[in-house]
Structure 1
Amino acid sequence: MSLAKTSILSLIVTVFKMLSGLILNKAVAVFIGPTGLATIGQFKSFIQICMVLGQGGINAGITKYCAESYGDEDKINSVVSTSFVIGFTLSVVIAIVFNLIPQYISVRVFASPEYDYIIRTLGAVLVFYVFNTYFLSVLNGLGNTTYWFKVNIVQSVISIILTLVLIVSYELKGVLLALILNQSLVFLYLLFLLKNNAILVAAKRIDLVDKDNARKLLKFGLMALVSAIVVPVSHIVIRDYMTNELDSASVGYWQGVWYISSMYLMVLTSTLSVYYLPKFSSLRSKYSIWLEVKKGIIIFVLIACVLGYLIYLLREYVIIILFSDKFHEMSVLFKWQLSGDVIKIASWFFGYLMLAKAKVKSFIFCEIFFSILFVILSIYFIDLFGLVGITYAYFINYVIYFFVSFFLVFSELSFSPE
């Protein structure tokens, strides 16, 4: 699928997700407020960690090796079978742990033992999260991205319905339940789509499990595991620091502007994962890779600049539409948050290239170093400037990340066409 078509379909999916997010954030803002939004952000970070632990972090590897093996059915089936055995095993282990110490985990995540049933439920349905991601990773690697777009649109619709129903009855607890049950319903829909697909058969073939494939996939698992731990944990540390030094409402404001960033950049990040990850994986010429990177950065940075500038100009309206007048104080966060988003998009090209080419050491170094640096910069600038300091830290962190990741990739790529 071409970059133009992938971008257009990503835009359609993003529109659905933005509409879904608009409705859901409005509901959360009205029924729960900034403090509730901060709790939801904390839980989303925890889910992100659980997702990568359950997947073994190998979904990017699945996409890479399926793209590289395109046309070789035996190799693809072996990758599929091996990955599903890894995912099932890890999901069962996590489910057992969550059922043994649910109150302890609840206290660590929510600062209260009363959400132990949320932890148990998450453990029970995690396997559906994992398989859903695996199937989409295989289809992405094979170029069947139509399924990815269909599933994401359906997920947005299910998310709206489920969250609205549960938030009215159970408020914050209802939103938390909706977050973990949503993927289970989406997985059932994906199974329906794949009922006649050979991939579904290959996923059940335990006899096709290959140790060499497992080893290669787990290299990606190491990269994803590091990312899944250090990035959300750094955000959790920052939220805790903001709560102690400022207040929980300030955390909600930061979570709100972070949500806005993630939503408008979604069309770009979706294209990165759906188009560029398999594209970079399949390209052999270093010169071709470099041309693809340069072209992508020019296009994506321009789009990010235009979207960011429009959001900045309309920030007061965006706050009222997406949240409520209780979130008015978050308007000071837009300028440097949106500026950081532009640098973030440019630097992510180098991050995805490291991922696609399995540059394990470079990728892990960047993830750990810049997560720690973000925490240090956040604490420093929050102490100096208060709430707005978190966006100064975000911007500076990604400026440094851009140059370091550029240097790491630049040193490994050649400008010669060989």
Structure 2
Amino acid sequence: MNLIKTSLLNGIAVVIRLFTSIGLNKVLALYVGPAGYAVIGQFQNAMGMLTSFASAGITTGVTKYTAEYFDDEEQQHTVWRTAGTIVFCGSLFASLGIALFHRSLARMFLKDEAYAGVFLWLAATLILMVFNGLLLAILNGKKDIRRYVTVNITGSLVSLIVTGILAKVWGLYGALVALAINQSIVFIVTFAMCQRAAWFRVAHIIGPIDLIAARNLGKFMLMALTTAAVGPTSQIIVRDHLATKFGWTSAGHWQAVTKISDIYLMLITTTLSVYYLPKLSEIRDITEIKKEILRGYKLILPLTVSGASIIYLLRDWIVEILFTKDFYPMTELFAWQLSGDVVKICSWLLAYVMLGRALVRTFIFTEILFGTTFIGFTFVFTKYVGLKGATVGYFINYVVYWITMIYLIPKFINGRRHISAI
């Protein structure tokens, strides 16, 4: 399946997810307000970290090796069984830890012990959540895009319905509970879809750990765990800084504008993960990698620029539709945020080579470096231009990141003509 076909098919799921996200944002804006929106952002970051550690960050590796071993089902099964056992053990230990320290986690991330029960919900459903991620990684690696898209559509609808109901009944607490359990509910659908596939057997998902497969997956575990630690942590630190300096309402405005970026970039980022990662994993010829990158720039960059331009021109109307009048101050943040989005996608088109080719040390170094510089740029620019400094820092950080990728990735590509396996 080529890039255009993947983008079109994935676009169906993205459009549905877009509309459900619009509805979900409106619900949250009505029931929790800007300050509550910031708290939701904190919990999403915390949940992302905990989930990644529970799954050992293994899903990217599963996608890569499932794609790489496209002509060897036994090798695929070895990878799946190894990953499934690691995920099973990791999620059990993580669930126990979350349950034991749920009050401390609430104080640490949400600044209020009253929300401690939310972490108990997360602990109770975590194993289903991480296995849902594992099955999605397998579907992605198998390039079973139709099932992958169906599951993602289901997930969008479940999130809207469950979050809408619980937020209306329990307010912010209900919205947090919904975030904790949504993906666990979707697991039922994912499992049912996989069972219908000719290649799926439960015995292929959990079993003895193969040391070679574990070592190969370990590369991606290191990369994913680095991302899980650095990305959410940097956002939490920035959000805490904004809340301390400008108040939780202003932090909520920043959270809202970053959410808009997430929404309109769905088609781009999901296409990168659904198409590029498996494609870059299976390519053995460096010349073909260059062609894929160039093809990506020709198709994806114009879409990103067009999307960012439209969002900027319609920003007042978008804030009114997606949020409430309490969120209007966020319109001042759009210009730098959207500029940062464009540069971000430009850099990611190159950075995905690090994931697809398992360039572990380079990936970890750049993740830690630019997670740290994002915090630093934010602290510096908020001192001089206020809340807008967070989006200025976001833009500058990705400019420097893109320049770094332009320097590093061609060195790797030009240094090798052929790759059998990495």
Q: TM-score, normalised by structure 1?
A: 0.97
CA distance in 2 between counterparts of 1:232 and 1:407 reads: 26
Q: Which amino acid aligns with 1:287?
A: T
3-state SS of 2:358 partner: coil
3-state SS of 2:284 partner: coil
- Residue 201 of structure 1 is matched in structure 2 by 202
Offset, 1:331: 0.5
Q: TM-score, normalised by structure 2?
A: 0.96
- CA gap 1:204/1:257 in 2 versus in 1, 3 angstroms: closer
Matches within 5 A, 1:241-252: 241-252=241-252
Question: Residues 103 and 116 of structure 2 are in contact (CA less than 8 Å); yes or no, is this contact kept in structure 1?
Answer: yes
- Residue 120 of structure 1 is matched in structure 2 by 120
Q: Which amino acid aligns with 1:163?
A: T
Q: How many residues align?
A: 417
Question: Residues 239 and 251 of structure 2 are in contact (CA less than 8 Å); yes or no, is this contact kept in structure 1?
Answer: yes
Residue 356 of structure 2 is aligned to residue 356 of structure 1:
yes
Q: Which amino acid aligns with 1:206?
A: G
Q: Which runs of 4+ in 1 moved over 4 A?
A: 415-418
Matches within 5 A, 1:363-402: 363-402=363-402
- CA gap 1:70/1:98 in 2 versus in 1, 3 angstroms: same
Residue 303 of structure 2 is aligned to residue 303 of structure 1:
yes
Question: Residues 287 and 415 of structure 1 are in contact (CA less than 8 Å); yes or no, is this contact kept in structure 2?
Answer: no
Question: Residues 80 and 202 of structure 1 are in contact (CA less than 8 Å); yes or no, is this contact kept in structure 2?
Answer: no
The alignment yields a C-alpha RMSD, in angstroms, of 1.3
Q: Which amino acid aligns with 1:199?
A: F
Q: Which amino acid aligns with 1:74?
A: E
Matches within 5 A, 1:82-97: 82-97=82-97
Q: Which amino acid aligns with 1:387?
A: L
- CA gap 1:392/1:5 in 2 versus in 1, 3 angstroms: same
3-state SS of 1:411 partner: helix
Deviations 1:252-302 (A, max 9, x none): 111111000011001000000000000000111111101111220232111
Offset, 1:416: 8.4
CA distance in 1 between counterparts of 2:117 and 2:178 reads: 13
3-state SS of 1:274 partner: helix
- Residue 327 of structure 1 is matched in structure 2 by 327
CA distance in 2 between counterparts of 1:41 and 1:342 reads: 22
CA distance in 2 between counterparts of 1:49 and 1:165 reads: 26
CA distance in 2 between counterparts of 1:204 and 1:313 reads: 48
Matches within 5 A, 1:19-418: 19-197=19-197, 198-207=199-208, 209-414=209-414
3-state SS of 1:33 partner: helix
- CA gap 1:339/1:42 in 2 versus in 1, 3 angstroms: same
Question: Residues 57 and 220 of structure 2 are in contact (CA less than 8 Å); yes or no, is this contact kept in structure 1?
Answer: yes
Identity of aligned residues (%): 38
Deviations 1:61-99 (A, max 9, x none): 111111111121111111110000000100000111112
Question: Residues 374 and 397 of structure 2 are in contact (CA less than 8 Å); yes or no, is this contact kept in structure 1?
Answer: yes
3-state SS of 1:298 partner: helix
3-state SS of 2:413 partner: coil
Unmatched 5+ residue regions in structure 2? none
Unmatched 5+ residue regions in structure 1? none
Q: Which amino acid aligns with 2:344?
A: K
